A and B are shown apart, each in its own frame.
Chain A
Amino acid sequence: MDNKLYNLVTKEEKCYGCGNCVVACPVNAYNDPAVAGGKGPEQLDKVIMCVENGVIKILNMGLCKGCGTCIEECPDGAIGLEVNYTT
């Protein structure tokens, strides 16, 4: 997982837990219909991230294709995309 080209990094202390990133993410929406309709994820093994204890938590980094939708929808920069050119 670590040697992927794209990596999501989170800053919990900045996160509101709004879930914008969770719902906006096309992978989450495709894999879990609940997320597509705005609810919290119901199938935790199929989504990239969810909000846990009020802050964002990455669950399955492997599913992320690096489209960057989530980082656009975070007003606070609490989620970011890291690109690993070296590997």
Chain B
Amino acid sequence: MIEEKENIVCPFCGCLCDDGVVKVEDNKIVGTRNLCRIGHKKFESAQHGRAESPRIRKNGELVPVTLEEAFDKAAEILVNAERPLFYGWSATCAEATQVGCELTEACRGIIDCTATICHAPSIEAIQDQGAPLSTLGEVMNRADLILYWGCNPMHAHPRHMSRYSVYPRGFFRKRGRKSRTIMVFDPRRTDTAKLADLHVQISPASDHMLVHTFREILNSYDVTHETVAGIPADAIRETMEAMAQHQWCILFFGMGLTQQMGKDRNIDVAIQLMHELNKYIGIRTTLMPMRGHFNVAGANITICSETGYPFAVDFSRGYPRYLPGETSAMDVLYRGEVDAMLNIGANPGTSFSNRALSHMAKIPLINIEPHNQQLLQISDVVFSPAMVGIECEGTAYRMDNVPIKLRKVVEPPENRLPDVVILTEILKRVKELKGKGA
């Protein structure tokens, strides 16, 4: 009997689509409806290729052990470390991050989430400038000008346009797509750009210059150069004029803005442009980072509410300190300072630099990850947990910082505990060991 479970939240990307239908037969996921191709794949492949759990590296081989032994070993590694790093938190639930913060404080380590290599510049810029934000619901009901800058939702967040921003009919935008103008700023002719009313094909790494030129026009300065960022000055003026015809504008930006030259400074100047659009023209303008993992926004929010800082929090002296560049995961790994690491809900194997990875290969590494991933080859303790949003419940934050409760669809395989339980067990043992030492 195929059972259709409705209103399932997709735990893949920052859109957190909450209208999925998952078909389950005998505790097996056999199909989905409404979810995009990536979301479908997440559910479909959730039950295949799972890592064996738990395992410890002995004589260079990962050998299966009991859960107790693995917990003990993990706690021992963390207690003996001088500068442990707790990294990841983006593909797990907010509850687990909460325990993670407590664990970091108990071990006096560093906690950092995957934002450190994606949208941390956005957060830093918001700290410097403040930011006008909104929720996706507001975008759906109000936005008539949508700017996608340096992001390609058609590939990375496939349902973003149809579910939240462009196509749905909203209260003030009754005709859906026809009530809205879409502009895409991207050096490439992406699939998103193909759907846009205007594609501004800027030359690479010159976004900052273009945003600045918009600001100049708004501030009634002359654009004296003929082309800026590969775009003729007249076209820039016309674009600005076209933008000014609208009432409510949202800027969605992605890695194209945050991870190119200048990083947070690009967002910085974009926020400044938003302020000026609000101030001089009266278009209500907001902006929203296109968060990648389903709970990377939640990792920032949870770490922030627990420690006071959004990422890269260093507890080495007992109290939280924060300074990206000094306490962020990449920097401490790059300098070879970390002497033990716990990875959860992330895959640094594909996203970290070679130098950081080569250091990770030399230190004890605890890996909490449901599937066989690259990092297993250098991990020393491996837990394969139940997958949040598929095999256990949890809270995640959508890209507009709205918390959404993830649902349980199927029973987890034997011996697979939720992340929260694994971390709580490790925390319990760390506290015991610390208590003994004192």
A and B touch in the complex (CB under 8 A): yes
Q: Which residues of A contact B (CB under 8 A)?
A: 15-20, 22-24, 29, 34, 36-41, 50-55, 73, 75-76
Contact of B177 among A50, A51, A52, A73 (CB under 8 A): A73
Considering only CB atoms, which chain A residue lies closest to B40 in the complex? Answer: A54
Known contacts A24-B177, A52-B33, A53-B33; 12 additional CB pairs below 8 A are A17-B39, A19-B158, A34-B19, A37-B168, A38-B163, A39-B34, A39-B163, A40-B20, A40-B34, A54-B40, A55-B40, A75-B195
Q: Is the CB of A18 within 8 A of B159?
A: yes
Bound-complex Cα distance A16 to B41 (A): 11
Interface residue SS majority, chain A: loop
Decide: A73 near B167, CB < 8 A? Known: A20-B195, A38-B140, A51-B34: yes
Considering only CB atoms, which chain B residue lies closest to A41 in the complex? Answer: B34
B82 on interface, CB distance cutoff 8 Å: no
**Closest Cβ–Cβ distance, residue A68 to chain B (whole Å):** 14
B362 on interface, CB distance cutoff 8 Å: no
B194 on interface, CB distance cutoff 8 Å: yes
B372 on interface, CB distance cutoff 8 Å: no
Q: Is the CB of B140 within 8 A of A37?
A: yes
- Across the interface, which residues of B come within 8 angstroms of A19, CB to CB? 34, 36, 158-159, 162-163
Q: Which residues of B contact A (CB under 8 A)?
A: 19-21, 31-41, 44, 140, 154-155, 158-159, 161-164, 166-170, 176-177, 191-192, 194-195
Contact of B168 among A36, A50, A54, A76 (CB under 8 A): A36
Q: Is the CB of B169 within 8 A of A36?
A: yes
Contact of B195 among A15, A37, A39, A73 (CB under 8 A): A73
User: 3 closest pairs, A vs B, by CB?
Assistant: A40-B34, A38-B168, A54-B40
Bound-complex Cα distance A22 to B162 (A): 8
**Closest Cβ–Cβ distance, residue B173 to chain A (whole Å):** 11
**Closest Cβ–Cβ distance, residue A31 to chain B (whole Å):** 14
Contact of B158 among A16, A23, A41, A73 (CB under 8 A): A16
**Closest Cβ–Cβ distance, residue A81 to chain B (whole Å):** 17
**Closest Cβ–Cβ distance, residue B275 to chain A (whole Å):** 29
Q: Is the CB of B154 within 8 A of A75?
A: yes
Bound-complex Cα distance A5 to B140 (A): 35
Q: Is the CB of B176 within 8 A of A24?
A: yes
Contact of A17 among B158, B166, B192 (CB under 8 A): B158
**Closest Cβ–Cβ distance, residue A77 to chain B (whole Å):** 10
Q: Is the CB of B169 within 8 A of A51?
A: no
Bound-complex Cα distance A22 to B167 (A): 10
